[in-house]
């Protein structure tokens, strides 16, 4: 490995332009089962590091990338937001980074704040918050706390593979169950069924809703886009099992990528409605910051025949740019193609019987936890 300063913009030299080489792709054998092909440095780093062949075959000797987990000790666990285009104002993320390796994940750039790459580091160098449940209980016990839905899985999946070992998400749900606090979950993992006992108790009190993300019904496409997430048929089974147990289920058809999975939208909605989902939503592919380079490199490797078509259509839905973060537009895009996708979704959802009623969770049952040493009320 060598350390160099990030490449400068193209510059003229003797009448010719010197163009910086593209980021080095990590060898397939080292990233087996991973989504990203790159591991470029984050945008805050003063130096960039690329692998190079020194003539001694050193790159061939590097081992396959393994998942590393670092324990994190934050002071607070509830994150608040003021975004006008999402339906909740607070969330919890038990983990940083995500082993699912979804190539399109809009959370990838957050790894740059840890001095790590939004590429393969995001999928292999993870952070867990084992004290999350204790922190949550303390925050819920704070005087003046007003209960409102808390979302799990807004940045990274709360049921990614390492949850089997750390069980942080389950410990958080136990607090919600004990305090009768409303919670919404977003996941693409069948592991959520492990906690069906808690979820059914919450559902009986109208305190939970689970949103399952289904990007494609094509196993091959799903495996390349989301290498360590549950297969499409397992997600459909998860929807069916949750619904049969009385847990309200929504489905996110997200992200929709033109010329890749967009044509499956109607079929997905029909299948999830048959499985018992009652609500559905969609989000257009988002490519903020480093996600653009990671996604484009993956697209060129896996679907070179349609890569340019995908990117060209995306630009028509983003005002001629790769991405537009404007509130109210970042989720659904603009322009004729984006409008057409929106109308198709509305028609298909209505035909499948979805979104007739939006489930609202209760907040009036909340019981503030009693902190250790605190005197109980006589009333």
pLDDT the model gives residue 16: 40
> Among 68, 56, 54, 62, which residue's Cα sits nearest to residue 26?
62
Q: Does domain 2-10+21-351 have CATH number 3.80.30.30?
A: yes
CA–CA–CA angle 64, 65, 71 (5° rounding): 150
pLDDT-derived band at 6 (thresholds 50, 70, 90) equals very low
Q: Which residues of 225-262 are buried (b: 16+ CB within 10 A; e: fewer)?
A: bbbbbbebeebbebbbbbbeeebbbbbbbbbbbbbbbb
How far is it, in rounded angstroms, from Cα 318 to Cα 308? 15
Domain spans, the chain: 2-10+21-351
Helix (H, G, I), strand (E, B) or coil at 76: coil
How far is it, in rounded angstroms, from Cα 293 to Cα 379? 60
Give me the torsion for CA of 226, 231, 235, 240, rounded to 10°. 170
pTM for the model: 0.88
pLDDT the model gives residue 63: 82
For 273-286, how does the pLDDT look when each residue is reduced to its tens digit (9 = 90+)? Answer: 999 999 999 999 99
Radius of gyration of the chain from its Cα atoms, rounded to whole angstroms: 22
pLDDT-derived band at 40 (thresholds 50, 70, 90) equals confident
State which of 37-41, 121-125, 329-333 shows the largest mean pLDDT: 121-125
Q: State the chain's mean pLDDT as an integer.
A: 90
Question: Are the C-beta atoms of residues 192 and 242 closer than 8 Å to each other?
Answer: yes
> Among 78, 2, 80, which residue's Cα sits nearest to residue 41?
2
pLDDT the model gives residue 11: 37
For 119-128, how does the pLDDT look when each residue is reduced to its tens digit (9 = 90+)? Answer: 999 999 999 9
Start-to-end CA distance of the chain, whole Å, equals 67
């Amino acid at each position: 490995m060598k350390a160099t300063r990030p490449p400068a913009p193209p510059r003229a030299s003797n009448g010719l332009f010197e163009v910086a080489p593209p980021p080095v792709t990590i060898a397939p054998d080292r990233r087996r089962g991973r989504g990203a092909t790159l591991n470029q440095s984050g945008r805050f780093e003063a130096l960039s590091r690329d692998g190079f062949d020194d003539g001694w075959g050193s790159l061939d000797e590097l081992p396959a990338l393994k998942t590393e987990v670092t324990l994190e000790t934050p002071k607070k666990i509830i994150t608040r937001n003021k975004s006008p285009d999402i339906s909740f104002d607070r969330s919890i993320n038990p983990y940083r980074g995500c082993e699912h390796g979804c190539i399109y994940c809009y959370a990838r750039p957050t790894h740059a704040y840890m001095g790590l790459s939004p590429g393969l580091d995001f999928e292999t160098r993870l952070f867990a918050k084992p004290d999350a449940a204790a922190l949550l209980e303390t925050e819920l016990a704070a005087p003046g706390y007003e209960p409102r839905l808390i979302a799990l899985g807004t940045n990274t999946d709360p049921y990614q593979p390492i949850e089997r070992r750390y069980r942080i998400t389950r410990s958080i749900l136990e607090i919600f169950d004990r305090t009768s606090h409303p919670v919404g979950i977003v996941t693409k993992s069948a592991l959520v069924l492990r906690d069906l006992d808690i979820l059914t108790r919450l559902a009986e009190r109208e305190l939970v809703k689970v949103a399952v993300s289904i990007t494609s019904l094509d196993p091959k496409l799903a495996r390349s886009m989301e290498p360590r997430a549950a297969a499409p048929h397992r997600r459909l089974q998860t929807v069916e099992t949750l619904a049969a147990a009385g847990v309200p289920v929504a489905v996110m058809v997200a992200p929709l990528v033109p010329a890749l999975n967009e044509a499956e939208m109607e079929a997905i909605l029909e299948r999830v409605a048959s499985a018992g989902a009652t609500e559905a939503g969609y989000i257009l592919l988002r490519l903020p910051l480093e996600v653009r380079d990671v996604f484009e490199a993956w697209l060129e490797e896996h679907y070179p025949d349609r890569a340019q078509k995908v990117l060209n259509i995306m630009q028509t839905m983003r005002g001629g740019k790769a991405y537009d973060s404007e509130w109210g537009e970042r989720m659904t895009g603009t322009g004729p193609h984006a409008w057409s996708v929106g109308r198709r979704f509305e028609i298909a959802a209505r035909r499948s019987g979805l979104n007739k009623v939006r489930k609202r969770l209760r907040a009036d049952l909340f019981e503030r936890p009693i902190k250790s040493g605190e005197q109980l009320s006589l009333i």
